[in-house]
């Protein structure tokens, strides 16, 4: 089957699909696009998305799975700014469990994040089991006590041992784990994009999120007692972790950051 299919009754021979192809695998032949190096296609779908007449289809990026942009509301500058800045790292969660359909919406948005050369390759495990999350937190604290990092987290370790205060997973009802193949060189890079999308989308679902940084440190150290808790598929590794749940409280203001540091050449 050909990589691309052109509806000659719709094609206006504008060549936009050829110009939009980042890998330059398309060229115009007798006025219509043709794939001259299909083996190099990265399935980005640009050629299909840019066509003004929906004349092009692609076996790896089907027209039927693309969403029409015409008619979608545009976001003005101020709204976009407030949307980006309103994302907060939530470290206090309600005990209420998030319905699975909302969790699926959340990770499905993460799936749509950009990736290096459209390599994608990120899958997810959503941990819903409270007891498993408690064992995971306990295991991280066990590791932390034996780690050189313990000198920086002494107060947190003491609070956990004496008062049961979990500052690793913060009592979140859910933990989203990102996975990639062990040998995938862009696993962490693509994961960061995916989980950033997840975090930005979470407030639209009424949810809060926070990167589980200490948990990640433990996983990335290769600490088997923690990794083995999650029964990962063969050949997979954890490349990121984000806590998810309903926030206990609502922030009333947008915070600032350090002053912009930029140079132009």
Residue 106: the pLDDT is 98
Q: Please state, in angstroms and rounded to a whole number, the distance separating the CA atoms of residues 56 and 49.
A: 9
Chain centroid, CA 122 distance in Å: 8
Residue 1: the pLDDT is 55
Mean pLDDT per 10-residue section of the chain, whose length is 265 residues: 90 95 93 92 96 96 93 90 93 97 98 97 98 98 94 95 97 98 97 98 96 97 97 97 97 94 98
Residue 2: the pLDDT is 86
Furthest-apart CA atoms within the chain: distance in Å: 77
- Which are the contacts of 72, defined by CB distance < 8 A and separation ≥ 6? none
Contact in structure between 34 and 11 (CB atoms under 8 Å)? no
**H or E, element range at 180:** strand 174-181
Q: Which domains does the chain have, with CATH numbers?
A: 4-65 (3.30.70.20), 80-245 (3.40.109.10)
> Where do the H-state alpha helices sit in 30-170?
46-50, 77-85, 100-111, 130-146, 154-163
Residue 186 sits at the vertex; the CA angle it makes with 18 and 202, to the nearest 5 degrees, is 90
CA end-to-end distance (rounded Å), the chain: 48
Residue 187: the pLDDT is 97
Q: Please state, in angstroms and rounded to a whole number, the distance separating the CA atoms of residues 253 and 256.
A: 10
240: which strand partners? 178
Residue 174: the pLDDT is 98
Q: Are strands 56-58 and 4-6 parallel, antiparallel or unpaired?
A: antiparallel
Contact in structure between 209 and 173 (CB atoms under 8 Å)? no
Q: Please state, in angstroms and rounded to a whole number, the distance separating the CA atoms of residues 196 and 145.
A: 30
Return phi, psi of residue 160, to 5°: -70, -45
Residue 31: the pLDDT is 86
pTM of the model: 0.93
Q: Please state, in angstroms and rounded to a whole number, the distance separating the CA atoms of residues 238 and 232.
A: 8
Least Cα distance to 215 among 176, 187, 163 occurs for 176
């Amino acid at each position: 089957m050909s990589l691309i299919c052109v509806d000659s009754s719709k094609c206006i021979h504008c060549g936009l699909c050829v110009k939009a192809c980042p890998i330059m695998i398309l060229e115009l032949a007798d006025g219509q696009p043709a794939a001259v190096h299909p083996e190099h296609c990265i399935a980005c779908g640009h050629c299909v998305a840019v066509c003004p007449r929906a004349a092009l289809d692609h076996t790896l990026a089907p027209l039927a799975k693309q969403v029409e942009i015409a008619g979608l509301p545009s976001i003005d500058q101020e709204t976009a700014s407030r949307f980006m800045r309103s994302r907060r790292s939530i470290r206090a969660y309600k005990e209420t469990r998030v319905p699975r359909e909302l969790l699926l919406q959340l990770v499905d948005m993460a799936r749509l994040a950009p990736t290096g050369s459209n390599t994608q390759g990120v899958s997810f495990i959503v941990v819903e089991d409270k007891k498993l999350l408690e064992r995971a937190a306990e295991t991280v604290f066990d590791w932390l006590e034996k780690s050189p990092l313990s000198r920086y987290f002494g107060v947190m370790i003491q609070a956990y041992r004496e008062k049961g205060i979990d500052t690793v997973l913060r009592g979140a009802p859910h933990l989203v784990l990102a996975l990639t193949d062990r040998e995938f060189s862009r696993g962490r890079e693509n994961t960061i994009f995916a989980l950033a999308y997840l975090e930005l989308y979470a407030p639209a679902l009424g949810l809060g999120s926070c990167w589980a940084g200490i948990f990640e440190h433990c996983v990335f150290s290769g600490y088997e007692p923690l990794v083995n808790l999650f029964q990962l598929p063969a050949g997979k590794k954890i490349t990121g972790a984000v806590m998810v749940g309903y926030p206990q409280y609502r922030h009333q203001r947008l915070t600032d950051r350090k002053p912009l540091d930029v140079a132009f050449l």
